Structure 1
Amino acid sequence: MTALPPVPPIPEPGRRKSLSFRALSVGFGAVEAVVPRRWPAVDAAAIERSAGVTLTGSAREGLARLTSSMACETRLSLFGRVSVRYDLTRLARNAAMIERMHEQTPAIGVAPVTAPLFIMGLPRSGTSFLHSLLGYDPDVLVPRVWQTLYPAVRPRDFDKTRSLAARKTDRQLAIFAGMAPDFPAIHPIDADSPQECSEITAHVFQSLRFDTTFRVPSYTKWLDDFGHAAAFAFHKRYLQALQHGVGAKFWALKCPDHTFSIPGILATYPDARFVVVHRDPVHVFASVAHMTEVLRKPFLRDIDAAEIGRQVTERWIEGARLLVEFDRSGTVPPHRLLNMQYEELTGDPITAVHRIYHHFGETLSSVAEAGMRTHLAAAPQGGYGRNRYQLSDFGINPERLRPDFAPYMDYFGIKPRSPNSGLPA
């Protein structure tokens, strides 16, 4: 579960070295001592004015709920307030851009998004690893990190080094890596890496991405009650804009939060297909909690590690229950649903991908397989480092969690593993 860090872009440094985060931090600390605590304003009206747009319907309500929750439940640093204001403004502008693309080229909205493949599973269960592999198939579309910052079509002959949007995105990621040195090992990405759907639905302020980066429990409660149908209606319009003029077989889409938005997904994509990767949940919670802590630290004051531990465990106890309920319900017929064990995926990735393609009636081309093999040779574990953090760092007792996850593990035949090894997430 990875939110894109809301880091504003910094201009090219020319021949000078890039501004270090240490210098940036010192500068913001000095300014924070003299500016009003609520400056710059982070509220719905201020974001609309800054973006030069007028939001309507559920997007406006989502922004209002989110900013109200931030004001009451999250203590942002000055850097956090500046970054959040930039991020929310960008999201509102991008959403308006997507609508303009549809208005200017009506054919965009006519083209279907046929049988998209949604990759699901609990966080750190290998879903990002699988998504990255599918990104090497030229006949499969995946949303790229830069496309969720600067929406545009990615041509088949795309060259990251010649793309201004990709270069700007890589600079923003480098800035965040300076702010959060642990982030690249936890979730190694660059501008052209596959990105999660939560970054798309964030554009209408109905995304569980915000619950990872910030402490916004009342917003999360509102979103759970409100549902995700409106968010995925926009999600489809976003994909239609990105696929225009690019031939491909299907979209491969990934986000652990899909577990909580299946009704919204099926309302928009009734022919959706699902591959669900399963892993011992107790094994991964130290990594999930640490990821949340790393993403929050540059922007928030007063982070409570034990509270994060409670948040992620309670959330994914419910997520595990929903995965069992989804499988039992028969809502999606067997030919559109595949369950896979983490060990199968990471033990022999190419064979696992062949199984996925075969199950859904797709063909893995030799070009796609070669690209995947090259990637695996360069990064056998997906580029991920080992987890150096313990469940106890976040007040999590694995033995107390076991009974909560027993129904999930029994239903899917998941074997318990040691909680300290680090493998692809």
Structure 2
Amino acid sequence: MYSRPAIERNPNSVPSTPLPLALANLLLRPAFGSRRTPDQVFDRLLADAGQAEGDESFVDDFRFLLRCWAGAANLTPVGWASARAHVRGQLANRARIRRLIAEHPAIEREPIERPVFVVGLPRTATTLAHAVLSLSDEHRCPLLWELLTPDLHTSPRQRRGAIATGRRMVRGTNLFAPRFRDIHPMVAEGPEECTFALPHAQMPLSQALITQYADWYYQRDFVPDYRHLKQVYQVLQYGRPRRRWVLKSPMHIQNLDALLAVFPDATLVWTHRDPVTVVASFCSLIEHGMAVSTHPVDLHGIGATWLDALSRSMARGLAARAALPRESLVDVPYSWLGADPATGVPKLYAAVGARWTDADAARLPGVVARPRGSRPHRYDLSRYGLARADVENAFADYNALRAEVDRA
């Protein structure tokens, strides 16, 4: 049963801007005017990153994204800098992956066998499921620093530089959005989700209101994105011991058909939770993340936008689920991980065909514990202009499935 957590005296008050973020906006204001000429900015980013022959479609898609992002309402100087950094990173990673495959054609022959994908709505313990599955020495989870700069990392110096990049990203997030670490803590050397490697994910949409890009995003064919994702993991695996990949992203739920077209032998671990709690918690996460790039933040706009996006994702996931072989799917009720992980995690391992060892059990308490110094995450649907009935109506079909999972 969903119970409303305690909230501040004024539930609709907007947190003040952290001083480091305010100062960064002042320092970046001189470059803010470049958003009026996004094509020129993009050309400079592309010149720095490089472009592989025959990759025009990939490049054009990111030119379109930057154009849309430049026109986002209430974008801040930090938001525009983040947009440029996101596009620059995607272009550079793509060029590097294509170059490595050209230099080492055997990379594309690396088998990604029987990968496990943790899917489900955000805030359903997908991160926790990913973390507990990473305990096994037989599993391979991508680390945040690897996803930010996928490479062969053949030298210690190159590796140290990539890790340092990941640490700067985490420090910047914690500095500009101090409460974000209480909601979704990140560690550069820890397991992270495919969102950072997929060319087009919901990350830009979580930072700004980009309506034109959103319309394009929800209609596109994601198979090329998942082919790129596979190449990322082939690069990270090349020349290293082969282990079973354990991967994760809530956004996979809307693209199961594309995922399985590229990873046909994947096992899907589908986590479940009351969508009323999910939507409230996720809107809070979006608020704290978006406040870095957008000011002011439209709280009711967040509610309307993400209720639609999450219910749309679930509808697509349910449609794809109907055609899945039962043996490829593992349903994980929230109680397995949220209430009694010592009992639930061994069941999860057995369901995906993995060995659960005494060593794994000994490490489990450290994985499921809240990070030291973190504060409770408090949230409320009404802050985002939503009511319980709004969510229950939008997720009626999913709630019927969830009831079946709980009974089983």
TM-score by length of 1: 0.82
Alignment-derived partner of residue 288 in structure 2: 294
Amino acid at match of 1:275: V
Partner of residue 175 from structure 2, selected from 166, 174, 178 = 178
**Distance of 1:138 and 1:154 partners within structure 2:** 21
Q: How has the CA–CA distance of structure 1 residues 369 and 98 changed in structure 2, closer, same or farther, with 3 Å as cutoff?
A: farther
Q: How has the CA–CA distance of structure 1 residues 97 and 36 changed in structure 2, closer, same or farther, with 3 Å as cutoff?
A: closer
2:159 is the alignment partner of 1:167: no
Alignment-derived partner of residue 37 in structure 1: 33
Amino acid at match of 1:187: H
Structure 1 contact 335–359 (Cα < 8 Å) conserved = no
Amino acid at match of 1:60: V
**Distance of 2:160 and 2:31 partners within structure 1:** 37
Alignment-derived partner of residue 365 in structure 1: 357
Q: How has the CA–CA distance of structure 1 residues 381 and 127 changed in structure 2, closer, same or farther, with 3 Å as cutoff?
A: farther
Amino acid at match of 2:312: E
Instruction: Give the Å deviation of 1:381.
Output: 7.9
Alignment-derived partner of residue 388 in structure 1: 378
> What is the number of equivalent residue pairs in this alignment?
385
Moved more, 251-260 or 145-154: 145-154
**Distance of 1:248 and 1:107 partners within structure 2:** 14
Partner of residue 247 from structure 2, selected from 240, 253, 256 = 253
Alignment-derived partner of residue 316 in structure 1: 310
Q: How has the CA–CA distance of structure 1 residues 382 and 22 changed in structure 2, closer, same or farther, with 3 Å as cutoff?
A: closer
Structure 2 contact 117–269 (Cα < 8 Å) conserved = yes
Q: How has the CA–CA distance of structure 1 residues 384 and 353 changed in structure 2, closer, same or farther, with 3 Å as cutoff?
A: farther
Q: How has the CA–CA distance of structure 1 residues 136 and 57 changed in structure 2, closer, same or farther, with 3 Å as cutoff?
A: same
Instruction: Give the Å deviation of 1:415.
Output: 9.8
Structure 2 contact 119–248 (Cα < 8 Å) conserved = yes
Structure 1 contact 229–265 (Cα < 8 Å) conserved = yes
Alignment-derived partner of residue 45 in structure 2: 47
Question: Residues 93-172 of structure 1 correspond to what in structure 2 (within 5 A)?
Answer: 93-152=92-151, 163-172=160-169
Structure 1 contact 280–414 (Cα < 8 Å) conserved = no
Partner of residue 220 from structure 2, selected from 218, 221, 226 = 226
Instruction: Give the Å deviation of 1:288.
Output: 0.7
List gaps (5 residues or longer) in structure 2.
Answer: 1-17
Give the secondary-structure state (helix, strand or coil) at the position aligned to 1:220: helix
Structure 1 contact 308–394 (Cα < 8 Å) conserved = yes
**Distance of 2:268 and 2:378 partners within structure 1:** 32
**Distance of 2:372 and 2:111 partners within structure 1:** 32
Give the secondary-structure state (helix, strand or coil) at the position aligned to 1:226: coil
Instruction: Give the Å deviation of 1:394.
Output: 0.9
Amino acid at match of 1:289: C
Alignment-derived partner of residue 326 in structure 2: 334
Question: What do residues 320-357 of structure 1 show as CA deviations (whole Å, max 9, x unaligned)?
Answer: 32333233x2x321111111211122222243232223
Give the secondary-structure state (helix, strand or coil) at the position aligned to 1:114: coil
Structure 1 contact 39–81 (Cα < 8 Å) conserved = yes
Give the secondary-structure state (helix, strand or coil) at the position aligned to 1:274: strand
Question: Residues 8-47 of structure 1 correspond to what in structure 2 (within 5 A)?
Answer: 22=19, 25-26=22-23, 28-29=25-26, 32=29, 37-38=33-34, 42-43=38-39, 44-47=42-45
Structure 1 contact 188–383 (Cα < 8 Å) conserved = no
Identity across the alignment (%): 25
Question: What do residues 154-182 of structure 1 show as CA deviations (whole Å, max 9, x unaligned)?
Answer: 89xxx9xx934223322331122111111
Structure 2 contact 96–151 (Cα < 8 Å) conserved = no
Amino acid at match of 1:148: L
Q: How has the CA–CA distance of structure 1 residues 174 and 134 changed in structure 2, closer, same or farther, with 3 Å as cutoff?
A: same
Shift >6 Å, 4+ stretches = 381-384
Q: How has the CA–CA distance of structure 1 residues 405 and 188 changed in structure 2, closer, same or farther, with 3 Å as cutoff?
A: same
Amino acid at match of 1:59: F
Give the secondary-structure state (helix, strand or coil) at the position aligned to 1:192: coil
Q: How has the CA–CA distance of structure 1 residues 360 and 388 changed in structure 2, closer, same or farther, with 3 Å as cutoff?
A: closer
**Distance of 2:191 and 2:372 partners within structure 1:** 13
Moved more, 346-355 or 137-146: 346-355
Question: What do residues 219-277 of structure 1 show as CA deviations (whole Å, max 9, x unaligned)?
Answer: 12212212210000111000000112332431111111101111111111111110101
List gaps (5 residues or longer) in structure 1.
Answer: 1-20, 417-425
Coordinate RMSD, CA, aligned:
2.8
Give the secondary-structure state (helix, strand or coil) at the position aligned to 2:245: strand
Instruction: Give the Å deviation of 1:304.
Output: 0.9
TM-score by length of 2: 0.85
Amino acid at match of 1:103: A
Q: How has the CA–CA distance of structure 1 residues 413 and 393 changed in structure 2, closer, same or farther, with 3 Å as cutoff?
A: same
Instruction: Give the Å deviation of 1:42.
Output: 3.8
**Distance of 2:344 and 2:331 partners within structure 1:** 11
Give the secondary-structure state (helix, strand or coil) at the position aligned to 1:387: coil
Amino acid at match of 1:83: S
Q: How has the CA–CA distance of structure 1 residues 275 and 31 changed in structure 2, closer, same or farther, with 3 Å as cutoff?
A: closer
**Distance of 2:38 and 2:163 partners within structure 1:** 28
Instruction: Give the Å deviation of 1:136.
Output: 2.2
Q: How has the CA–CA distance of structure 1 residues 324 and 30 changed in structure 2, closer, same or farther, with 3 Å as cutoff?
A: closer
**Distance of 1:27 and 1:383 partners within structure 2:** 26
